[in-house]
Amino acid sequence: MPLTQDQQDEINELRSTTTQTLRATAPGMEKHLYTAYPVLDHGFVRVIDYMGDDNAITQAARVSYGKGTKAVSNDEGLIRYLMRHWHSTPFEMCELKLHVKLPVFVARQWIRHRTANVNEYSARYSILDREFYIPAPEHLAAQSVVNNQGRGEALSGEEAERVLRYLRDDAMRCYDHYEEMISQDDQQGLARELARMNLPANVYTQWYWKVDLHNLLHFLRLRADAHAQYEIRVYADEICKLVADWVPYAYKAFEDYRMGGATLSSTALDCVRRMIKGEEVTQENSGMSKGEWREFQALL
């Protein structure tokens, strides 16, 4: 269970106190505020704060385009137009702040998205908890045989058992030694900033992560994608649900134009045109490499 009773009590208290505000409020998001949604075995995602709603997007767009935009009859239509034409600045006018608990190897992927604000728990300063990600048996995947950067089927039998035993035992032993090294009982105690180096990458950390909606959607497009590593995808999936309730028009446009969409090259567009005319197009006469053709076929 990812939360202690104390933490749950704090959340309950925060959720019981409402204040008056003149700001735009998103009812769909208010219901999620502070609640920790479990992810993986010890992780969670919870909304700490948000700014703006669907209307904040169109309001910003109307500053840019003035009275002219009244032609686009409604908010949803305008949001779809902005998404379709990659007019990204109005989406930057919404902001989300999350509290996330996640394994270090997931955090290392996540942090590569640079246009966000982050405050991470400091293991130089404080002591990490004895919490490690151990995959559920069905997620203990083999290396893909077709793709260097991918997974195959789940391991099974003795091999699966051995892997789980290694992961658990090594984590526990490393943590025992971490604790023993920093202990100040009858010894000096190693500096925390050094001792932490003994902890494997499945140890959990946590951070506050604040990002604008445009950059958040970019993150979700990459990390909620089928090719993303499972362990970060489950976080992205959870965040998708929150965004869908927060800015429903923007999220729907995102699903249609980004998540479900695809970019075709000039060559691929040309093939599509020929195919629609009834022409037989093969890899050989497509102008594509084998890899591109395979991806093109999968798309259609």
> For a second copy, which stretch binds (CB under 8 A), given 2-10, 38-46, 173-181, 242-250?
173-181
Closest CA to 104 of 5, 228, 198: 198
**Which DSSP category does 150 fall into?**
-
**Residues 194-223 within binding reach of a second copy (CB under 8 A):** 194, 196-202, 206-208, 210, 212, 222
Q: Is the backbone of residue 216 left (phi > 0), alpha (psi -120 to 50) or beta? A: alpha
163 binds a second copy (CB under 8 A): yes
Stretch that binds a second copy, among 1-9, 38-46, 136-144, 238-246 (CB under 8 A): 136-144
Which of 136, 193, 241, 294 binds a second copy (CB under 8 A)? It is 193
What's the min distance (Å) between Cβ of 250 and a second copy?
A: 14
* In contact, 133 and 42? CB cutoff 8 Å: yes
> What value does the CA radius of gyration of the chain take, rounded to a whole number of Å?
24
Q: 34, 82 in Cβ contact below 8 A? A: no
Is 223 a catalytic site residue? yes
- Phi first, then psi, for residue 154 (nearest 5°) are -70, 145
Q: What are the C-alpha distances in Å from 128 to residues 60, 124, 133?
A: 43, 10, 14
User: Which residue of the set 23, 223, 233, 273 is catalytic?
Assistant: 223
Counting contacts by CB under 8 A, is residue 241 touching a second copy?
no
Characterize 235-244 residue by residue with b for buried, 16 or more Cβ atoms within 10 angstroms of its Cβ, and e for exposed: bbebbbebbe
Among positions 87-116, residues that touch a second copy (CB under 8 A) are 89-90, 92-93, 95, 97, 99, 103-105, 108, 111-112, 114-115
Give the x/- contact pattern for a second copy in 52-91, rule: CB under 8 A: x---x--xxx-xxxxxx--x-----x--xx--x-x--xx-
Does 4 bind a second copy (CB under 8 A)? Our answer is no
Applying CB under 8 A, among 9, 172, 189, 297 the residue interacting with a second copy is 189
Ranges of beta strands (E only) in 43-116 are 43-51, 95-103
User: Smallest distance, Å, CB 38 to a second copy?
Assistant: 19
